Amino acid sequence: MLTVYLLGEQRVSNPEDARVGPISSRAIALLAYLVLHAGLAQSRNRLAGLFWPESSEQQARTNLRRELHNLRGLLGSDGALAADGPTLTWTDSPSCRVDVDTFRNERSSAVAALADSDARAFLDHADRAIDTYRGELMPGTYEDWVLEHREVLRRQCVELCEATVRVLRESGDVETATACARRRIQLDPLEEVGYRTLMELQAASGDRAAAMTTYHRCAAVLETELAVAPSAATSRLFDNLLGEHPRAGAAASRRPERVRAAVPALIGRERERGELQRRWRQSLDGRQGLLLVSGDAGVGKTRLTTELAEIARADGAVVATTRCFGLPGRVALAPVAEWLRSPGFRSAIGSLNPMWRAEVERLVPSAEAGPRPSTSRAMVDAWQRHRFFEGTTRAVLSSGRPVLLVLDDLQWCDAETAAWLAFLLSLDTHMCVLVAATARTDEARSRHDVREALRALRSARLVTDVEVDPLTSEGTAELARSLGGRALDPAEEAVLYAATGGYPLYVVEAARMVPGTDATGGADDLGEVLQRRLEQCSEPARDVAGLAAALGTDFDLDLLSEASDLDTDSLVQAVDELWRRRIVRPAGTGYDFVHDLVREAAYRSVSPPRRWLLHRRLAQGLELLHAGSTDDVAAQLAEQYRRGGRPDRALHYLQRAAEMAASMFANAEALRHFRDCLDLLEAMPVGRNRDAHEVDVRQGMSAPLTTLYGYSSAELEQTLDRTVELGQRLRRPKIVLGALIGLFAAHFVQGHTAQAHGIGARALELSAADPEFEGQAQFSVAGAALALGRPRDAIEHFDVALRSFSDDYSFILGTRLEVHAHAWESHAYWMIGDEQKAARSCADALALGRTCGHPYSLAVALGYASVLNQMRGDDTALLASLTELRELCERYHFAYYSQWSQILEGRLVGGEPGIAKIRQGLAELRRQRAFARMAYWLSLLAEVQIDVGHTCAARATLDAALIAAEQYDDRWWLPQVLRLRAGAGPFAGGTSPRTVRERRIPTV
C-alpha cells in the first residue's frame, strides 16, 4: 500500500514497491493540496497559477503536466487521482493511505461517538486520530493554503486531546489522562489552560513535584517566548497545589505582566548574530558544516546559539539541543542519543528501513527493541561501527526538513560523539544540516579527541569559527539597564565594567544577587557573586543545590527525593525557591543549573565529608530508580560510588559501562572505563578476589585495544600477557587459551614469527583438553609454520583447523576463521607448486567471505587473494581484487589490509608513482609496528626500483629484505629475495625482475 505522510513530515513510501523513490517537494505539495480538497474538482488553470505564479501561463501548465505525470507514476492506476478534462479530483482509495485523511476520519468517528455518549468508541477513535497526528501539516512549508489547513488540523487535535482528557478523568484513568494532557501541551505550548489541566492531574495522582515542574516549564516558555509571567489563575493554582498562601515575593514573580525574561536580551552582539544568521542561510542552500562559537566561560556563547535556534525554528527546521558534561561519569554518544530523542526525529526514526532502525535502537532502544548485542562480539562486529553511524545519521537526515543540532560545551565531548559528528558532516548529502557548538577556547584546544576532530573538519573546510569576546563598556551598561530597568551614569558604568570585565554572565548574576537591586554592586570575581547568591537561599534550598551539583548532570525530582533528607513537600518548596532565584531552570523532564559555573559554585559550598555522603546517596537512589535497567546509568553509578567511597560497587558499574560502550562501538570510552577499573583494583588488597576481577577486566580490554590500535599495540601485548598469568594463577584454562590465541596474533603481526609459533604450539597442547579452541590453535600453528618456510606443515595444520571449525566466528581474531584459513592456505599450496589447489582454496575463501555477511572476513579473503594474484603474475585478477579490497577498506576504515592494498597497487602501477605508493604503505605498516611479511613487501619495492633503473636503491632494499627475513624469522619469501639479490649484481646487462619472476621455481 502506498502511504503519504503530510503530518510532521513530507514523505511517500510503499514497502511493497522498492521502485518508489524520492518525490519532488512541488509534487508532494500538489498531492497535499488535492488531498486537502478531496472530492472537489480543481481547475488545472487554477492549480498551475497557484503553484507556479511567476511562470507564464503556458509554462505553468507544462510544469503541472510534468508533476502530474510523476504523480500518476507514483499512484499507479488505483483511481485516487481522477483527471476529467480541465479538472483534477482526489478521491479516497483503499490502495493509498494519506495520514491527513486517516486523522480526519478517525476524528469524525470520535466526535460522533462522543455525541452518542459512547465513551469506549470515542477513546478508540480519538487515540488513533491523536496517534496519527505526528506533527504539524507539511512542516517547513509556508504557503497561505498550507497555513490555513495547518491551524485547523492543529486546533482539531488540541480539542480532541481536551475531550479525551475529560472522558478519561471521568472514568478515573488519571495516568492515561496525564499522558494525553502532556500531548496537548506539545501541540500548543503557549496556552496556559493545558498546563493547568496537567498540574491538576499530577496533583490528583499525588505527584506535587511533577505539578511544580509543569508550572516552572510553563513560566519558562512564557518568559522566553512572550516575556510575560503565568496568569493569575495559573499562579493561584500552583500556590494552592503547594498548600500555601501566595507570598509577597512569589506573587511579585507571578504577576501576569511583562517581566524580565529568563533569557536576557541579546545586546551588543550584532556582528556575531549576523555571522550565525549568514551561516544558517548557507546551510539552507545545502552547505552543511560545523558552526563553532568559542570564547571564555560566561561570555555568552549559549545565548547566541539560543538565538540561532529561534531563527532556525522560524524557518521550519528541526532543532535539537543538548550539551556535554565535564565529568568522568559521562556516557558515550549521550549527546547523539539526546538529539535522536527529540520530537522532530521520532517520526523519521519510525519510518526508517528496519535495518537502519535497528542501528538507532542500539543507542536509543524502543519498547519493542530486542536485547543489546553481546559485548563478547566486539571484535567480530567492529566493522559494524560504520553501519551504526550510517543508521543514526540517516535518522537525523530523513526528516525532510532543515536540521540544526545544537551542542553546548563541545570541549567536554567524548571521542565517539566527536567521531559521529565528523561522519555526519563528511557525508556528501547536500542536506540542509548545521551543527552549532559552543566551546571554551582553552579547554577545547587541550582535549586531544576534540582537537583532532576539529582539525579533520577544518581540513575539509567544514568549520566556521565565531569568536565571542566580552562586551564593550557600552554594551555592558546597556545589558545592565535592561536587567535593572534604569540607565547607569558614567561613574556606575565604569565601576560595573571594571568589576565584570564585560562578561554577560557576571552582569546577569550580579543583577540577580539581590532582587530589586541593580547590577553595579560588582564583586571581586564571579565565584564570590555566585556564592553570595547561594547564601541568600534558605538552608533546604542550599542543601538541594549541593545535592544536585554532586550529580554533575541535569537532574529530576524523583532522584532528589530518593537521595535527600527532605520530605516531598519540603523538597518541592526548595526546588521552587531555586527556580525563582534563577539558580536552576527546567530542562528536559527535570532541571539543570542555569550555568555550569553555578553548578561548580554549589558543589564547592558542600564540605568534603558531606560530598562523600551525597555521592553515596545519589548512587543508591539511581539504583532504586533504575532497578532492572542499571546498564543505562552504569557510568553515572560508577562515578557516584567512586566518589562515595565504595570502590567495589564502582568497579562493578565501571565494567558494565565499559561493556555497554563497546556494544555501541565506543571503543575509546570503553577503554577509559576499563583503565579506571585497573586503577581501582590497584588500591584493593592482593588476593584471589582481586585477581578474578582483574582477569575479567583484562579480557574485556583486549577487543577495544585491538580495534583501536591493532595487534601490534604494546598495551594489548601487555594485557594479554597479564591475562595468561592471571588465568594460570586462577586455574582457568579457557582464559589462558583465549589469551594465547590473541598473543599469537599480536606477536605474528609484529614480526615475532618464531615466538608466535611457540605460542601457537603451546595453545595447541592445551587445546587437547578443550576442543572449543582446537581449530584456532591449529590455525595459529599453521600460519606461523608457513611464515617460517614450512608450507607442508602449514597445510597439515590448516586442514585440521578447517575440519574443526564450526559456523561461528573467532571472538579473539575478529574473523570467520574458515575464511581466513582457506585464504592463507592458498599461499601454502602455491609455495609447494600446487597452483590448482591454491586457486581452489582462494576461491573457497572468497565465496564464503561474500556470503557470510561479515565485511572484515571478506577483506581478509581479498587481501590474501591479491597477494596470490601478484605471486602468480596475474595482473588482471590482481586489479579486480585490489579494487574491491580498496573500496571495502575505505568504506569500513579497515587498517592493515588497506596497507596491503596500497603496496600491491604500487607494484601493479609501477614507475615513480608505484614507488611512492609502496613507500607510503610500508611507512604506515612500520608506524603500526606490523613487520610480518616485511621481506615480501620490500621485494615488491625492489622490483619496481629495478624497473625504473634505481640500481643502488634496489640493492639496498633487497639487503633490507634479507635482514628483515632473518630478524623476524620471516623465511617464506626468502628464496625469492635471494634470487632477486643474486640477479641484481651491478645490473649492467643483468636480469630484470620480470625475467626472474618468469623463471622462478615456486618451491622452498
pLDDT of residue 382: 60
Q: Is residue 619 part of a domain?
A: no
What is the tens place of the pLDDT at every residue in 464-479?
999 999 999 988 888 8
What is the tens place of the pLDDT at every residue in 286-321?
899 999 999 998 899 999 999 999 999 988 899 999
33 and 106 inside one domain: yes
181 and 327 inside one domain: no
Q: Is residue 850 part of a domain?
A: no
pLDDT of residue 261: 47
Signed CA dihedral, 345, 347, 348, 350: sign only: positive
What is the tens place of the pLDDT at every residue in 145-186?
999 999 999 999 999 999 999 999 999 999 999 999 999 999
177 and 193 inside one domain: no
Concatenating the DSSP letter of every residue in 129-188 gives HHHH--SSBSTT---HHHHHHHHHHHHHHHHHHHHHHHHHHHHT-HHHHHHHHHHHHHH-
pLDDT of residue 344: 82
State the average pLDDT over residues 564-585: 93
Max mean pLDDT among 48-62, 233-247, 933-947 falls in 933-947
Q: What is the CATH number of the domain that holds 378?
A: 3.40.50.300
Q: How far apart are CA 409 and CA 323, in angstroms?
A: 6
> 707, 733, 765: which is the final residue of a domain?
707
In this structure, the number of other CB atoms found within 10 A of the CB of residue 175 comes to 10
- For 900, list phi and psi in degrees, rounded to 5: -55, -50
Between the two ends of the chain, the Cα-to-Cα distance in Å is 66
Q: Is residue 774 part of a domain?
A: no
Please tell me the least confidently modeled range out of 597-606, 663-672, 688-697, 829-838: 663-672
pLDDT of residue 522: 46
422 and 279 inside one domain: yes
Residue type for 526, please? L
Burial of 270 from C-beta contacts in 10 A (0-12 / 13-18 / 19+):
exposed
457 and 577 inside one domain: no
> 606, 621, 642: which is the final residue of a domain?
606
499 and 645 inside one domain: no
pLDDT of residue 765: 94
CA angle 391, 392, 398 (to 5 degrees): 85
All three cell numbers of 811, joined, read: 571472538
Q: Is a pLDDT exceeding 60 seen at residue 994?
A: no
pLDDT of residue 68: 86
Q: How confident is the model at residue 274 (pLDDT cuts 50, 70, 90)?
A: very high
Pairing of strands 289-295, 11-13: unpaired
> 206, 231, 259: which is the final residue of a domain?
259
306 and 434 inside one domain: yes
All three cell numbers of 836, joined, read: 590448482
Q: How far apart are CA 100 and CA 151, in angstroms?
A: 13
277 and 387 inside one domain: yes
Helix boundaries (H) for 710-790: 714-729, 733-749, 753-766, 774-787
Beta strands in 262-331 (DSSP E): 289-295, 318-323
Q: Is a pLDDT exceeding 60 seen at residue 518?
A: no
Q: How confident is the model at residue 249 (pLDDT cuts 50, 70, 90)?
A: very low
Q: How far apart are CA 808 and CA 830, in angstroms?
A: 28
Rg of the chain over Cα atoms, rounded to whole angstroms, equals 34
Q: Is residue 836 part of a domain?
A: no
Signed CA dihedral, 373, 378, 384, 389: sign only: positive
966 and 1004 inside one domain: yes
Q: Is a pLDDT exceeding 90 seen at residue 139?
A: no
Count structural domains, the chain.
Answer: 7
What is the tens place of the pLDDT at every residue in 973-992?
999 999 998 876 554 344 45
State the average pLDDT over residues 724-731: 96
What's this model's pTM, rounded to 2 decimal places? 0.81
- Percent of the chain at pLDDT above 90? 58
65 and 12 inside one domain: yes
Concatenating the DSSP letter of every residue in 623-688 gives HHHTTT-GGGGHHHHHHHHHHTT-HHHHHHHHHHHHHHHHHTT-HHHHHHHHHHHHHHHHTSPSSH
Please tell me the least confidently modeled range out of 444-448, 681-685, 716-720, 994-998: 994-998
Q: What is the CATH number of the domain that holds 652?
A: 1.25.40
Q: Is residue 744 part of a domain?
A: no
SS3 752: coil
Which range marks the domain in which residue 646 is found? Answer: 630-707
In this structure, the number of other CB atoms found within 10 A of the CB of residue 986 comes to 9
Please tell me the least confidently modeled range out of 71-85, 246-260, 510-524: 246-260
Q: Is residue 321 part of a domain?
A: yes
**3-class SS string, 211-266:** HHHHHHHHHHHHHHHHCECCCHHHHHHHHHHCCCCCCHHHHHHCCCCECCCCCCCC
SS3 407: strand
Q: Give the up-direction half-sphere exposure of residue 565: CA atoms within 13 A in the CB hemisphere.
A: 9
SS3 597: helix
Q: Is a pLDDT exceeding 80 seen at residue 20?
A: no
Which residues are within 8 A (CB) of 292 and not within 5 positions of it... i.e. 6 or more apart? Answer: 410, 437, 438, 439, 454, 463, 464, 465, 466
Q: How confident is the model at residue 330 (pLDDT cuts 50, 70, 90)?
A: confident
Q: What is the CATH number of the domain that holds 9?
A: 1.10.10.10
333 and 412 inside one domain: yes
Give me the numbers of helices (H) and strands (E) for the chain, helices first please: 48, 13
Bigger pLDDT: 253 vs 939: 939
CA angle 385, 387, 389 (to 5 degrees): 70
CB 953 within 8 A of CB 945: yes
Eight-class DSSP state of 371: P
Where b means 16+ CB within 10 Å and e means fewer, 820-840 reads bbbbbbbbbbbbbebeebbbe
pLDDT of residue 149: 94
Q: How far apart are CA 420 and CA 921, in angstroms?
A: 27
Bigger pLDDT: 76 vs 395: 395
pLDDT of residue 79: 67
387 and 414 inside one domain: yes
Q: How confident is the model at residue 559 (pLDDT cuts 50, 70, 90)?
A: very high
CB 720 within 8 A of CB 739: yes
- Percent of the chain at pLDDT above 70? 90
Q: Is residue 740 part of a domain?
A: no
- For 133, list phi and psi in degrees, rounded to 5: -80, 90
Q: Is residue 282 part of a domain?
A: yes
